[in-house]
Structures are given as structure tokens and as C-alpha cells.
A and B are shown apart, each in its own frame.
Chain A
Amino acid sequence: MKNIWNFFTGTIRLISKGSTAYYCWIVFLLILMCIGGIAFCHQLDQGLIVTAMRDQVSWGFYISNFTFMVGVAAAAVLLVIPAYVYEWGPIKEFAVLGELLAVSAIVMCLLFVTVDIGHPERFWHLIPKLGLLNFPQSLLAWDVVVLNTYLALNLTISIYILYSLYYKREPKHNFYTPLVLLSIPSAISIHTVTAFLYNGLGARPFWNSSILVPRFLASAFCSGPAFMLLIFLLVRKYTKFRIKDEAIQKIAEIMAYAMFINLLLLGAELFKEYYTDSVHLDSFKYLFQGLHGHSALVPYIWTAMVFNITAFFLFLVPATRRNTTTLVIGCVLVFVGVYIEKGMGLVIPGFIPDTLHEIYEYSPSNTELMLSMGIWATGLFIYTMLLRVAIPILNGDFHVADDGVHSFIGDQLFLVKQESDPESEQELVRSTFGHT
């Protein structure tokens, strides 16, 4: 117990230190979080009428973001499988960063759902025994269960590993291996269940297609890793943390395959709808061509198409995959492309036209944008904090001091140039802090 407390106070001391850039970034995120908080208060006071959602389009930007973030969260498994199942060294060294990303992404998912519901204070109705969770009937009930399980698993695994390393202990295989193995199907399940949530509705032909789940999974294995790669490249550039080229190459290669499957499945769906040419085509028409003069999503979806296809080739060709610049461009393209396609591009056309074929064009209100920005900032804030602790621990710059009580902080700044010349190494202050 004492150890946990010491670890906790140590991390607090650690995250309060950093370079100017680190502080600026934190302040920037805190400002965005405040704006989001104000928007949320406004929404609680006025009701969801301050959003652009209406009866015809009853889910909008919040649920679109939620859906996308579930994909990002699920993608951590892409690091976990090679790292723990195949014991592939180059990825195992930093698999924990993927788990931490999953934690941040799930927190964002939960926040996006919370701000979307009309009565967030009634959340306890979802708690089994206390409330009345409609399990196993409702897919939303399933989602509550799997999302929280996945969050708990990732938190436990990553904190356990980091905690052990902090106390210079080898993490116990017997403890974390079963959890890691459990986290693999659970990553698949959060995505499957979220896709089923849409998939099972006969009322919405746009979602009622059996390849929705594989489409979800394929795009998740693009968007999540894209974000992770960008973070890894940043981490590699600005900290002492080493990430091997072959690990990054391997992830980029997997992304190329995933993007191919994603595009193939989308193509299959488009063929079926356009060739059949039934009344169910309307939603696809709305998305890709515009319907009866309504075409708000058309420019976005074509942007996404161009981005995804370009990125696919960038990742497919070994030369552009190895070049850092084109790799970064590819990651950004994938992230934005999938964000459009599996966010608004998936949710909104489900409601347009609505079940009585009315067309209500939706585009998020300012409150929705500000609130969502706040949640993104919260997610990034959490991930920054987690990395701020995890990277020094993995580097060996943050661990328990020789006295076994206080903490040793070698890495005073978050952003440290990777060139570790011996002089500056000697200057590193060996600091121990007293506890009150």
C-alpha cells in the first residue's frame, strides 16, 4: 500500500516537470477542456436542443466520434499480438504505449456517450443490480460491458507493468499473460459489438449489412495504428526512447493490408447497392452523390476516398513506406480518411433519408464542435500524462531510488533530444524528494 502511494506521489512530481513546450501543450489542452466544459454546462442547462440533432437525425457528431474512437482503441491489439503472442522483441518494447492509447481512447468513448445522452445523471440505471441493465437483449448494454472490461484490462496490464518496472522488478508472466490474452478477444469485441449496435437495426438499411463488422475491424486496423505511428515517430524524435525501424515498418505494412481489405469491403458494399438499385440505395446516394439536392457529406466522403486510396499506395510501396516524410503523410491521410468514413460518413447516412423518407440535413452546431474538441483535448491530455510517466519508466529515467522509498527522476524534461552526449548525462540531477 505504502509502495503504491510512493509510486503515485512520484508520478505527480514527474508530470509536474517538463520543458516549455510541454507546459504550453498542457495549457493549450486545459484551455480546450475548459471550453468543452463550458459547452457541456450550456448543453445540460438548455438540453440537447443546442445540438443540430433532431428526431430525424437523432445521433450526430458525438456518436460519430465515439464510433471512430472505438476503432482507435481496438487497434492497440495490433501491438499486443506481435508483442505478447509472438514475443516479437522490437514491438514488445513499447506495446505498453499502445495499451495506454487504448485507455485514453476508451475514456474518450465513454465521454462522448455521456455527453450524448439526455440524462447523464441517470447513468446508474446502467449498473447491474443497482439499475436495470438490459443484458443480453440490448447491444448498447453489451457495449457498456465490453468497453468497461477493455478499459479495466488495459489499465491493469499497463499500470502493472509500469509499476513493476518502476520498482525494478520483472513483471510476473503468470499475472499479466492471461490478462493480455483476454485483452485480444476483448479488443475485437468492442469493435464487433459497436458495429452490431448499428448492424442489428432493420429500420436502417444503410447499417443493416452483414459486412459492417469486418469493415469496422479493417478500418480500425488502419486508423489506430496511424495515430500510434505518428506518436512513435514524435517520441522517437524528441525523447531518448528508441523505437526500432523494423517495428514501425511492420506496423505500416499491416496497415497497407488492412486498408486494402477496408477498400475491398467498401467496394463490395457499393457494388451491391448500386447494381441492385433498390430504394435502400438512397443513403449511399446521399453520401456519395447527394440526394434531392442535399449533399452536405459529399465533399467529405470523396476527400476520405482520395486520402484512403493515396495512403494505401504510400504504405504498399516499400520505398514510400520507408521514407519518414511519406510515412507521416500516409498516417495523417489514413487518420483523417477513416475519421470521415467511419465517423460522420457511417452514422449520418443511416438517418438520411429517415424511416419515413424525410431528409433533414445535419451538420454539427458550435456547441457540438466545442464540446467534442474538449473531449479530444481530454483524451490527448490523458495520453500525454500517461506517456509522460511511461516513457521515462521504460527509459529507466524514472524508478525507485536506492533507498527503496523515494523516487529517482533522471529525465527532468519531457522533450529530451535523443543525442545523449555523456556530458549532459552527467549533469542529470539525481534528485530525491522528501515526503510529507
Chain B
Amino acid sequence: MSKNKPYDHAHHSSRRKFLKGLAAGIGLIALPDKQASASVWEEFFQKNFRELSKDDLKTVLARLEKKYSKQFAKQVTVKATPPIEGVRYGYALDLSRCIGCRRCVYACVKENNQSRDPQIHWIRVMQLDKEKGVDLSRAEHYYNPEKVPEKGHFYMPVQCQQCENPPCTKVCPVQATWKENDGIVVVDYNWCIGCRYCMAACPYSARHFNWGKPGLPAAEMNPDTHYLGNRPRPKGVVEKCTFCIQRTREQPGRYPACEEICPVGARKFGNLLDPESEIRYLIENKRVFILKEDLNTQPKFFYFYAT
């Protein structure tokens, strides 16, 4: 709109209405007021996370914090804590202990601000037959008995395997997803175009798409967020497990929410580069296996039977 030309208010508002409708119609962004519209354009022209300078990043984080704080009516922090030197995260899961209670699934949802409606889960727990072993074609995904574990069954949680050789990042046409130096595969929700090629490429169904507008009640929103992790997502982008990047990259760090909640201690998490770590002990001393080894994805998520 030209600022030099005077126009009466009615004209102005009808024009604004028109622009608003047009913007909504062509899928651009509604322009509620000048300030908001400026931040909308800032967001639209934001560079890829990895191309942001330090100053750019500061501005972006501040903008997001302001936006989310307003949206959820609480003080939200958005961090961009970088990887810690000398750390490569690994995860191990004891199939002999897992009871299939799905507490990890819901702790993850709570911690990582997944959409409640429509439901998005980063962890999928499958019920398998003890007799048949790890045969995914016999997996029961929607088991729902009164009590778990059920006789004759064991349970296998699957989430992002944080592959060393991730097929998902390779296929992304715009480099909106990549593997960080600590081994975590992340997504830039402001850069993802939502083509879902990564979902077709992932052999573990670990990637999830925001088909609709994420339903995240303000009261349940976790305000401690990371740019590449659990900050609120817009609709139309892909998201996935980040080993709770907002917890594990801090010093002192915290365990991922799924690890913390597990009532039977089936989940183990640690630094693969630290020879003294529990995860290294497990890999060296237990019979571990990885999912779909033949695909050479080299997961850093190990399954084992402790007993």
C-alpha cells in the first residue's frame, strides 16, 4: 500500500479485507496488523537454519519466543543449543523388560508438544508373538487389553533410529532435514516444504506429518523448547523424534522423556563416544541387534535382550 496517497478509512478497511481474503485464499498469510505482517514476511523470507548468521539466529529465536508466548499465554523459550563436542548419542532398548505400557509414547507427546488432535506419536509400540520373534508382519499395532504385558507376547517400541546413514535426509529436495554433529537427525520446520519424500524414504515410519493444524492446548504446552526440536509446529511440515534435543544437549543435561518415564528401566541412553558409558557397556556385552540391518542405515538405536 502506498503511504503517500490519502484514502478514507472505509476504503482502507475494505481493501485490507480484500487483501486478507486474497492472502488466505492463495495460501499466503493473513495480514492482521502492520507489526504482525512484518513478522509474517520476516518468517516467509527466513533462511535455512544452517545458513543463519549468529545475529540472524538471535532475531529468529526472539521472534519465535514472542510469537509462541503470545499464542500460548505463557513465557516460552526457544533455544538453539548446538551439539556438545565429543558426544554422539545412542539409545538401547531392552526387549526382555519392556511391558508395552506405552508410558513412553505419552511422555514423549507431553514433552515434545506433539499435536493432541489430530494425534501424533513419535513412538510406536508393537505387540509381537514370543514364538515368532521379531516378525513385523505379525505385529499388532493397536493392541488394547486391560492389562499389559499379555502372556506369550513381547513389545517393541520403534521411534527414529537416528541413522548414521539416514535415507531420509538424502532425499529432501531443499535440505530442510539433516544429521547434526551429535548424530541427531533434525528438521527445520520453517524450511520444510512438506513434500513428504522423507517419509517415503524412512524404513522405520519414524517421520510424521502435520496433516492438519496441530491441536496443542495452551495449558499442556511445554514452554522449554528447542528450535530443531519440540517448539510448536505449523501445519504442513514433517516432524520426528530428536532424542529430546532440548534436554539432552544441555549441561547438565537430562535424559529423554521416554527414558525417564520407563517404569521398568528398559530404555538406556548415553554417549557412544564415551567408553565408560552404560550404552557402550551394553553394546559390548549384550547381544544387541538393529532394525533392518540389511538397509545399511546404521541406526544408533539398539535393541537387546538383557535376560
Contacts and interface: CB of A to CB of B under 8 A. Distances in A.
Give 10 nearest A-B pairs by CB, closest first: A118-B194, A118-B236, A49-B212, A203-B203, A140-B173, A44-B27, A49-B211, A47-B235, A125-B174, A58-B199
- The prevalent SS among residues of B at the interface is loop
Q: Which size bracket describes the interface of B in this complex? A: 35 or more
A121 B199 contact: no
A204 B136 contact: no
B281 interface: no
B44 A121 contact: yes
Interface in A333-355: 350-351, 353-355
A48 B205 contact: no
Interface in A36-51: 41, 44-49, 51
A349 to B, nearest CB: 13
Contacts of A350: 200
A350 B197 CA distance: 13
A355 B167 contact: no
Contacts of A105: none
Contacts, number: 153
A202 B203 contact: yes
B39 interface: no
Which of B27, B235, B237 lies at the interface centre, i.e. has the most chain A CB atoms within 10 A of its CB? B27
Interface in B195-220: 195-197, 199-205, 207-213
Nearest to A56: B205
Contacts of B199: 55, 58
Given A203-B200, A355-B202, A117 B195 contact: yes
Given A117-B196, A118-B194, A203-B203, 14 more contacts: A45-B24, A46-B212, A113-B195, A116-B196, A118-B210, A119-B192, A125-B193, A126-B193, A134-B174, A134-B175, A138-B173, A198-B200, A350-B200, A358-B205
Contacts of B171: 137-140, 200-201
Interface residues of A, number: 52
A356 B136 contact: yes
B203 A126 contact: no
A140 B200 contact: no
A197 B207 CA distance: 18
Nearest to A120: B27
Contact of B211 (A47, A357, A358): A47
A122 B209 contact: no
Given A53-B211, A55-B205, A203-B202, A126 B174 contact: yes
A59 B200 contact: yes
Contacts of B201: 201, 203
Given A125-B174, A201-B201, A357-B137, A47 B193 contact: no
Contacts of A159: none
B70 to A, nearest CB: 22
A21 interface: no
B28 interface: yes
Nearest to B23: A121
30 contacts: A46-B213, A47-B210, A47-B211, A47-B213, A48-B236, A49-B118, A49-B211, A55-B199, A55-B207, A113-B195, A117-B193, A117-B196, A118-B194, A119-B192, A119-B194, A119-B236, A121-B29, A125-B193, A126-B173, A132-B48, A132-B191, A133-B173, A134-B172, A137-B170, A138-B197, A140-B195, A350-B200, A355-B202, A355-B204, A357-B137
Given A47-B213, A132-B175, A203 B139 contact: no
A46 B214 CA distance: 11
Contact of A132 (B28, B51, B236, B296): B51
Contacts of A51: 211
Nearest to A142: B173
Contact of B193 (A59, A118, A203): A118
